Amino acid sequence: MKKSKFNFFEKREDGSWVAFNAATGALGILSQSGYEIYESLTSLTKGKITIESREVIRLITTVDDMKKGGFILDDDFDELKNIEILVNRRKFDSSSFGLTIMPTSDCNLHCPYCYEAKNREHMDKSVQDELVTFVEKHLENVKYFGVSWYGGEPLLAVDTIVELTDRFLKLCSQHNCEYSSGIITNGVLLTEENAKKLRDSNVTFVQISLDGTREIHNKTRYSKGNKGTFDTIIENIKNALDILPSIYLRINLNKDNVPCLDKLLDYLASEGLKNKVQVYVGQIEPIGAIRSCNDITTKCIVDDFFAETYVNFNKTAIQKGWDPEPYLVPATTFGLCAAEMDNAFVVEPNGNLQKCWVPIGDEKERVGNLRDGVMTSGTLNKWIGYSPLDDPECRECEVLPLCYGNCVYRNLLEPKSKHCGVWKYQLGDVLKEIDNYYPANIRKTGIESEMNWLSEPLEKRKRCCFIVCGIRCTTLHGKISCNKGSCKPVSVCG
Distances (CA, A) of 427 to 15, 69, 304, 408: 19, 18, 12, 22
Spatial separation of the C-alpha atoms in residues 380 and 91, rounded to whole Å = 13
Alpha carbon 188 to its chain's center: 24
Spatial separation of the C-alpha atoms in residues 366 and 382, rounded to whole Å = 12
- 86-335+468-487: which CATH number, 3.20.20.70, 2.60.40.3950, 2.130.10.10, 3.40.50.300? 3.20.20.70
Specify the pLDDT at position 480. Answer: 35
Q: Exposed e or buried b for every residue in 122-133, given b needs 16+ CB within 10 A?
A: bbeeebbebbbe
Per-residue pLDDT of the chain (494 residues; tens, 9 = 90+): 889 999 999 998 889 999 999 998 888 888 898 888 888 875 544 444 444 444 555 666 778 888 888 999 999 999 999 999 988 998 999 999 999 999 999 988 877 767 655 678 999 999 999 999 999 999 988 999 999 999 889 999 999 999 999 999 999 999 999 999 999 999 999 999 999 999 999 999 999 999 999 999 998 888 877 789 999 999 999 999 999 999 999 999 988 899 999 999 999 999 999 999 999 998 877 665 544 344 566 777 888 898 999 889 988 998 899 986 655 667 776 656 889 999 999 999 999 999 998 888 889 999 999 999 999 999 999 999 999 999 998 999 999 998 888 888 888 877 776 678 888 999 998 898 887 666 544 444 444 457 777 666 554 433 333 332 333 333 333 333 333 333 332 222 22
Spatial separation of the C-alpha atoms in residues 192 and 189, rounded to whole Å = 9
E-only strand ranges, 5-110: 7-11, 17-21, 27-30, 72-73, 96-101
Q: Where are the domains of the chain?
A: 2-77+423-460, 86-335+468-487
Specify the pLDDT at position 459. Answer: 47
Specify the pLDDT at position 338. Answer: 85
Specify the pLDDT at position 439. Answer: 52
Specify the pLDDT at position 413. Answer: 76
Spatial separation of the C-alpha atoms in residues 224 and 118, rounded to whole Å = 13
What is the maximum span of the chain, computed from C-alpha positions, in angstroms?
81
* Pairing state between β 203-210 and 178-185: parallel
Specify the pLDDT at position 246. Answer: 92
Specify the pLDDT at position 489. Answer: 27
- Residues 6+ away with beta carbon under 8 Å from 375: 367, 368
- Residues 6+ away with beta carbon under 8 Å from 194: 155, 158
Could you tell me the pTM of the whole model? 0.85
Radius of gyration of the chain (CA): 24
Spatial separation of the C-alpha atoms in residues 367 and 99, rounded to whole Å = 14
